[in-house]
Structure 1
């Protein structure tokens, strides 16, 4: 695997979604997407049908735990359904990697980014609120597990 990223300056993103503490349960993230799926295109103030899977540092404790959030971008947080949480993704520079395989293989792309690309890239991972996120384009087909998928890694020089 050899993926060359593009670099993007991203303004803050307002995300509304559902979140779960990351565990070693391989079914936890797919189950979260199953619960969140009906909200896509049905959230007040949603900007488009792009979906995000965010790996976020937990602010509830200092043990380094991460949670995963399935969400969509919104213009504002007013009138959110009770089962959705707000999250502001900070403005930052990102290295953006295209994931071309089936979504079940996304872990391979993430491992490549952190284990092979990052150590030799000349940039540093900017460890902030959002550890990294997945962006699922409007052409992503969740039933087939394929379509526009990217991994966005916050970086600094």
Structure 2
């Protein structure tokens, strides 16, 4: 089963304030272990986010932050949009993303294959489409995972998009 994409669509995104959890993950580990750690991070968020005043629709966001060249760790943030910094409870952190233009890719496979989708987007799809990703001076996010209301956490399927901030 191969991963395929429709041509990316460009759309505006943000600004948005997200409330959630941010953790560092080592890159020298097996992808399955990293995936399990990120899944555990989402479960930890779910345990504390019940009273979070999330804006409708209830979208979840996973954000891979830019990593310095040669680093053996990456930071991953998972969270939900809130109406502003004052709505971020003390047990969570805030991530403010500016207004961006993003290339949007739909992910139709199991959520555990997001790493393969993301690698293919950056290695092949963006260069072929002559789209250049934004750098960290423009946006803290290397890419954003958007979990729509169609996403089923029980099966890991449906309603996932990968948003790549791009230079315009």
In the alignment, structure 1 residue 156 sits paired with structure 2 residue 167: yes
User: How many residue pairs were aligned?
Assistant: 154
Residue of structure 2 in register with 1:50 after alignment: 59
Gaps of 5+ in 1: none
More helix by share: 2
Matches within 5 A, 1:9-24: 9-23=12-26, 24=29
| Cα distance in 1 for residues equivalent to 2:69 and 2:106 | 32
1:55 aligned counterpart, secondary structure? strand
Among 29, 32, 42, the residue aligned to 2:38: 29
1:125 aligned counterpart, secondary structure? coil
- 1:87-109 CA distances to partner (integer Å, 9 max, x unpaired)? 11121110000000111111121
TM-score (normalizing by structure 2): 0.83
TM-score (normalizing by structure 1): 0.88
| Cα distance in 2 for residues equivalent to 1:135 and 1:13 | 13
The answer to whether the Cα contact below 8 Å between 2:22 and 2:76 also exists between their aligned partners in 1 is yes
Residue of structure 1 in register with 2:11 after alignment: 8
More strand by share: 1
